[in-house]
Structures are given as structure tokens and as C-alpha cells.
Structure 1
């Protein structure tokens, strides 16, 4: 959503209303959640939120390819590949050749990775509980429903837009 603001010359200019512009609200919230989680995870567990997100994905879907992680989480392949190497180096993830082609790799948590996953999962669920603490169960369900609906709209949002020529 937008609003107007006067320039130094008193002419109105269109600006975003950052308290109502949904993409900004989502990004600001995500940035603050990520920053807080990253500080905790790095201090106590030696990993960041990127590593945690990939570990969480591998817990839900073991023995998947990097491309699947990218599709679900929304990270680019280079970042996922680098992170998977880091997780392997730390002994948190195992890799093996994909059974169908033998060339690509699939990944799963190691025993050490599962132990760390369990510890971080407890912290993550507590953080979620704190975040949602002011919402009723019905409001939480409504929020989850709305977020899933917005997620399904991402392809439409990211579709090409006709950009008018500069005036």
C-alpha cells in the first residue's frame, strides 16, 4: 500500500506505507526472526540459520537432492551446495549417489546431525511459541492459512510485469 509525502518543494510524492505494505512487513519480520535465531544458533550450536533451514528440510525429507531443497526453501543452488558441503564437513549431513542416475547426490542428516536437529528444534519451537503468544488458537490457524495462501501467490507475484517507460 502507498501513501503520499510532500517533497521539499511541497509537491506530493508517492511512497510506500511501510506499516501496511505487506511485502515489507513480511521481510522485516523475517529479517528480525532470522537475526535473532542466527545469534542463538551460532553462539550455542556453531551453525547459522541457513544451515538450520537445510537441516530442518532434510529431517522432513531425507535423501533428497539439493534442487529439492532449493525449490522448497527458496535458496539459490550455489548457496545450498556450499551449505551442504559445510554440513558434511561438520559431520552433520551424509551424501550418497542418487539411485536413478548415479551422478547426482542426495543428502540426509547423519546421527550427529539428528542429535543437533533435536536440540535446535526445541529452541525453534519455543521461539515460535513466544512469537505467537498473543494469538488465540483460531488466530494462529488463520495466520497459517493466510501465509500458505500468500505462498501460493508467489508465482503470480514474480511473473513478468510490463514496466512503463520512464517519464
Structure 2
């Protein structure tokens, strides 16, 4: 089990070796996904496992659980079983928790190819609300499902067009 304090991975210098940088990016994405979803519910995110057992990409997705509003985030690969806990993520740049209640509007569940979901996660100019939408995507079999409201979809389309 990998137990990490996210504060140790913030403000990494440019000279950090590739494996450490990739681990930091995985942790950032796990915190984004965990804080984009609901508290107390374990779910299979759209995030792929980054392990390469036997030099082959693991086919698993990351299961995420944020049991409390604050406190450790638990994660586990659905295939290879790699697991971990992330602490001290609160109020980091990767914390996507809502700061105020939002209006309730119908949510559409769009099916996306994995490549499209990965591209959406890589867009650097997204605001926090769009990031929350993108990282709330979940796996359903081989498909990625993006739960999104009409106004969020319009905003996301605008960011994609500007990218």
C-alpha cells in the first residue's frame, strides 16, 4: 500500500526524475477525481491504472473512496490491486470540492471513448467547475460516462474550442 502526504508532492522542482513526476501527476488526478465525486461512496473513476506489470499496461481503472469530507482518500486499481491512501490534500490546487451549494438541474450521462476522456483531462485551461465535471467521469464497462448538466456542457465545449 502506498501511503502519501500530498504536501510532499506540491511545488516539485523541474529537475524531479520522470517516475517521481508521473507519481505526482497520478496523485493529483486521484485527488481531483475523489473531490469531484460524492463523499462516502466508492466508485470506479475513468482514471486508468499507471502500473505496467510485465511491461504491459494494466487494464484496470482506479476505484476511489473519500469516506469523509476531510481525511484520507483511498484508491485501488480494479485489476492489479495496487492501492493507497492520500492525506493532506485539503485546500490543495487539486481539491475540487464545491465551496457553495449549486442549483439542481437534469444531469445527462454522455458516453465517451477513453481517448476523449483522457484528452478532456489534459486540457490545461479548464476552470474548477469544468475540471470537476471532467474528473467526475466514471467507467461503465469499456465506456467512460461523463455526468454533465446542459450549462456545464456549453462551458466545456467553449474550453475545448479554445484549446
More RCO (CA 8 Å, sep 6+) = 2
Answer yes or no: same fold by TM over 0.5.
no
* TM-score between both structures, scaled by the size of structure 1: 0.25
| Greater fraction of residues in helix | 1
Q: Which has the larger radius of gyration?
A: 1
| Greater fraction of residues in strand | 2
* TM-score between both structures, scaled by the size of structure 2: 0.25
